[in-house]
Chains A and B, each alone.
Chain A
Amino acid sequence: MDIQRDTLVEMLRLLYTIRAFEHKARQLYEENRLAGNFLGALHSYEGEEAVAVGACVDLRKDDRILSTHRGHGHCIAKGADVKLMMAELLGKETGISKGRGGSMHMFSPELGLLGGNGIMGAGLPLALGSAFTAQYRGTDQVTVCFFGDGSSCQGTFHESLNLASLWKLPVIYICENNQYAVTTPVAESFPVPNIADRAAGYGCPGVVVDGNDVLAVYEAVGEAVGRARAGNGPTLIECKTYRYQPHCMVIPDRRDTAEMEEWQERDPIPRFEQYLLDQHITSEAEQMQLRQQVNEAIEAAAAFAQVSSLPDPDTVAEYLWA
């Protein structure tokens, strides 16, 4: 694979940023919760960062994505400003959705970020529409739609894959198989080893990827994007990965510790750092410096969020109608 050094460094920066963002977000939530201010559900993307980064780093600004309830990583990878995201988490007027959406609903259409979703499987048909618009207008924009292993069991999965393939819509469906839907393991969700195998039933390619290998994701998505831009229709990509935190902050985690440790050994960040060292692309010192810069940016984002104002209750009815 021939990837520009800048792209590789950007991948590392994004991986660091997502991880640091999630750490800080958890800390802010916990502080708020202890102060009696419950901020709703927070779904951590920690452990799954390579999927969003590998998938989005090479997208164009005018390509679009549909995110999920576990969407901070997607937003960051698509170029969202962590300040605005952090402010959104705290329900501030300066938030990326003006405090009307919260953690699960971050939007920025000018970045091609069409939002997370609180309804499992709801993004798949919305992505059809975004891809349809590109096809209708004759542009070569693509749409990437993320969803989970649990959400792949929704009826919208079937309808959307079928229609996308039938109409050759420029969409890439990326299933983030993190092995669980809340507490339900994949083995209790479907009787086949791979979600990607279902693609055969829709007449489109299905690919299984190591979702903890950012370069593997990058390569698979790159190929799918090429197909979509060329008018050859959708691809279903299943990224096998793992979340480190409980489903969301309030749900007790009863996963096997041996299983968790095994996945942590395959953590996408040290793996990629090692790759960059081995290939003499970045030095340890450069990596350390980058990490430092990212941490500073995240601290600045948290500070921005904290000093920002809450929305004025008089504006509660704004933004309902166009």
Chain B
Amino acid sequence: MKEVTYARALQEALTEEMERDEAVFLIGEDIVNLGGVSGALKGLAARFGAQRVRQTPLSEAAFVGLSVGAAITGLRPVAEIMYVDFVTVCLDQIINQAAKLRYMSGGQLTIPLVIRSQGGGGTSEAAQHSQSLEAWFAHTPGLKVVMPATAADAKGLLKSAIRDDNPVIFLEHKLLYATKGEIPEEEYVIPLGQAEVKRPGEDITVVATSLMVHKALAAAESLADEVSVEVVDPRTLVPLDMNCIKASVQKTGRLLVVQEACTRGGFGSDIVRRVTEECFASLVTAPQVLGGANLPMPFSRPLETACIPREETITAAIRSLVS
């Protein structure tokens, strides 16, 4: 094993997949001069050349549409949208084109496309640079949705996403890029649709995604003397590994879902729905979603902090569910 940052793990995945398959290319804003705002693409232009690392003008609809068009004609684009908030200006290309063309063509078109972007708050960037929009994509049939929380997952899942023949929305978290984690020295992939138990436990299941996985793990650790918490990270929302989640709930009888996205209409509600429908008898108490506030993300730090689940609020929710 070796320790790398999440950003470095992404870069390794891109490097390996670009080396493996000449059809893979990168496209996005400031990806050559800057390596993208996350820095995850640093050095790739020097390594692979301007033909395969395409820095575009400020035109998301053009370059995301270009990516869809390139995918249906045989290339494997990996597009980067600087912040997930900016998908609004190219949503047609994602929702009406990438997600639809295979079905509408009766299976004649194949769309091996990855769209990477970063979401999440906690950086005082206010409401247009802090959203967690995974539910928008998960709601749209035809898109896979991936949310890695660790360096190891980021690398293994990105490699799978690039090899997948379907459009994949790959959502990173801006506060995770600098975090470090262990990854295998040798090549590996993590299949889409495989959850991971990040911490085994007996009394309650906490399903958390992205940055919230780390907060849930911290909460579990701080409660270790009181309650045994199992933390499950689905890692991909579409496809969703319900078997792993159900197995955990069947063991613990309790479910808390933690997401950074606004609670209303969020993906957590769907996990609760599925658990309620599919293993109601195992539940000893009503499942709960602890999500972000149903508000635009405020700029000022204390207000922003109040909008996002944190270790203390997770701890409190766990306590109330097991009491």
Contact = CB atoms under 8 A, between A and B. Distances in A.
Contacts of A261: none
A163 B104 contact: no
Given A122-B92, A163-B62, A163-B63, A320 B72 contact: no
B75 interface: yes
Nearest to B58: A159
B66 A322 contact: no
Given A97-B108, A136-B25, A319 B102 contact: yes
Interface in A115-139: 115, 117-119, 122, 124-134, 136-137
A47 B108 CA distance: 30
Contacts of A321: 102, 142, 166
Given A126-B68, A129-B69, A322-B166, A115 B141 contact: no
Contacts of B64: 125
Nearest to A163: B62
Contact of A132 (B61, B70, B165, B166): B70
Contacts of B56: 163
Interface stretch (B80-88, B93-101, B219-227, B248-256): B93-101
Given A119-B92, A162-B57, A322-B111, A129 B104 contact: no
A105 B65 contact: no
Interface in A284-321: 318-321
Nearest to B77: A129
Residue from the set B69, B92, B104 with the largest chain A CB neighbour count within 10 Å = B69
B105 A133 contact: no
B199 to A, nearest CB: 32
Contact of B62 (A97, A117, A118, A159): A159
Contacts of A109: 72, 105, 108-109
A100 B103 CA distance: 7
Contacts of A130: 69-70, 72-73
B62 A125 contact: yes
B74 interface: yes
Interface residues of B, number: 41
Contacts of B68: 125-126, 129
- Using C-beta atoms within 8 Å of the partner chain, give the interface range for chain A: 35 or more
Interface string A94-119: 01111111000101110000110111
A79 B79 CA distance: 33
Contact of A160 (B62, B72, B109, B165): B62
A128 B69 contact: yes
B57 A163 contact: yes
A119 B96 contact: yes
Contacts of A95: 106
A115 B56 CA distance: 25
A78 interface: no
Contact of A125 (B65, B72, B142): B65
A227 to B, nearest CB: 20
A319 B69 contact: no
Sorted from nearest, which 7 A-B pairs have the closest CB atoms?
A: A129-B69, A125-B65, A98-B106, A322-B165, A159-B62, A319-B107, A107-B105
Interface of A: 64, 66, 95-101, 105, 107-109, 114-115, 117-119, 122, 124-134, 136-137, 155-156, 159-160, 162-163, 166, 318-322
